[in-house]
Amino acid sequence: MKTMSVVQNLSDAWLEAVRSRRIVNVFETNDDQKAKVEFGLVEVGGKFDYYAKNLTTGEALIRKVEDRAIEGTDFRIQYNGYRALRPRPKALNPGRQPDVSGDVMQCKFYCQDPKQNLSMLRRDALAQVTLKNWRWNAYYNATPFEKEGHLLWLPASVDGTSTVLPHLSQELTLPILEDMLSLFLNSDSMLLFFNSLHAGATVNHMHWQAVFHERELAIETAQTRKAGDGNGDWQVLDNYPANGLVFDRGVDPGKLFAAVKALQDKKVPYNLILVGKRICLMPRNKNHEVIPEFPGGAVASMELAGKIIIVDEAAFKAMDSVRLRNVLQKVTRSSWPSAGAVPIKEIRRRPDAPGRAPERTDGADQQVPPK
């Protein structure tokens, strides 16, 4: 069996954390009941499984977890009823959501407040890696969707015997990107991704996510075509439900950051997915951060890469290739925001490509003029 590793064997660390019941959190639900819930992973019969308990009533909370292929595609979809319990902002109207505050006192990682149950400072780091620019700690995700390993990588420092988590905003810099590319190149069986604000990130504190990666995802084998002015540095996803750029695993950090910065400078949300031999940059349509076709959450990196994770059972049952295509075309941009670092006008599929989605009429395909 493969193991998730990056210098250290993270799969062993994850196994030990599950066995010692360290991947357990207590939080209050967001519904009207405001119940106190204990949620975590346990080992049952040599396998990992979810469990949840209502501490207010003492009742065990049993939820379904199902996984299936989406017929006619290389995508899979997981219905995870346990993740519906997790604390998160209440569902809002479809469209762009309010900005997430960068105020350290409102940080949902509670990076300065170890008294909070969900504070990162209360969790043991499962790995610590010192890279070129930062030391990075790997913490378990409070509500993991991957039972074999779902981690959060945060920049950290040490002050005497205490761990300090600097409150950095969820916006990439070249030094942070350099570190994560180094981490990716020295890892095995690990998918690494970054969700920007308004593209899946619900906490405005610098963090990357990593999951155990064994089964090949759709984005790893998706067709690509050369970009008009790409000079060989990138290609465009072709005949794929979502729009985006594809860089080689060994891309120069400066070239990748130039493309990222072009999006950040224009306030365009994005997802950055590091998996297998590819690095995929997916510009997002900010007007479709939350969509009615994806209730209970927001489309983020995993969905764009080939694994849909959903908390609504009816939506799980209804998802098919047509719905999938429409959802991913809706949430990703089909044009680059400016003629800066990536001088291409269109990143959508060829007009004659099979399975092309209908033209959108919401204005998302229009160019954003340079300043």
Does position 368 have pLDDT exceeding 50, yes or no?
Answer: no
User: What is the value of pTM for the model shown?
Assistant: 0.90
Q: Which residue has the tokens 């779902």?
A: 150
Give the model's pLDDT for residue 6: 62
Report the alpha-carbon angle 60-76-193, nearest 5: 85
Which of 23-27, 61-65, 214-218, 280-284 is least confident? 23-27
Give the model's pLDDT for residue 352: 45
Q: 357: which DSSP letter?
A: P
Give the model's pLDDT for residue 335: 82
* Cβ-contact 345, 366 below 8 angstroms: no
Q: Which CATH superfamily is domain 63-331 in?
A: ATP adenylyltransferase (3.30.428.70)
Question: Average pLDDT, stretch 159-169?
Answer: 91
Using the Cα atoms of residue 257, residue 258, residue 261 and residue 262 in order, give the sign of their dihedral.
negative
Q: 162: which DSSP letter?
A: E
Does position 182 have pLDDT exceeding 60, yes or no?
Answer: yes
* Confidence tier at 354 by pLDDT (50, 70, 90): very low
The CA distance from 83 to 103, in Å, is 26
* Confidence tier at 363 by pLDDT (50, 70, 90): very low
Does position 218 have pLDDT exceeding 90, yes or no?
Answer: yes
Of residues 214 and 306, more confidently modeled: 306
Distances (CA, A) of 354 to 305, 325, 364: 20, 12, 21
The tens digit of pLDDT for each residue in 223-278 reads 999 876 556 789 999 999 999 999 999 999 999 999 999 999 999 999 999 999 99
- What is the percent of the chain where pLDDT is above 70? 86
Question: Average pLDDT, stretch 123-140?
Answer: 95
Does position 165 have pLDDT exceeding 60, yes or no?
Answer: yes
Q: What does pLDDT average to over the chain?
A: 88
Where helices occur in the chain by DSSP H, the ranges are 10-19, 174-185, 218-221, 253-265, 301-305, 313-318, 321-331
- Provide the residue type at 75 as one letter: F
Does position 360 have pLDDT exceeding 50, yes or no?
Answer: no
Distances (CA, A) of 320 to 32, 315, 316, 332: 33, 10, 9, 18
List of residues 6+ apart from 180 with CB closer than 8 A = 153, 192, 194, 208, 274
Q: 315: which DSSP letter?
A: H
Tokens of 98: 């309010």
3-state SS string for 74-118: CCEEEEECCHHHCCCCCCCCCECCCCCCCCHHHCCCCCCCCCCCC
Give the model's pLDDT for residue 29: 78
* Cβ-contact 111, 119 below 8 angstroms: yes
DSSP β-bridge partners for residue 187 = 6
In this structure, the number of other CB atoms found within 10 A of the CB of residue 127 comes to 20
Does position 92 have pLDDT exceeding 80, yes or no?
Answer: no
Does position 162 have pLDDT exceeding 50, yes or no?
Answer: yes
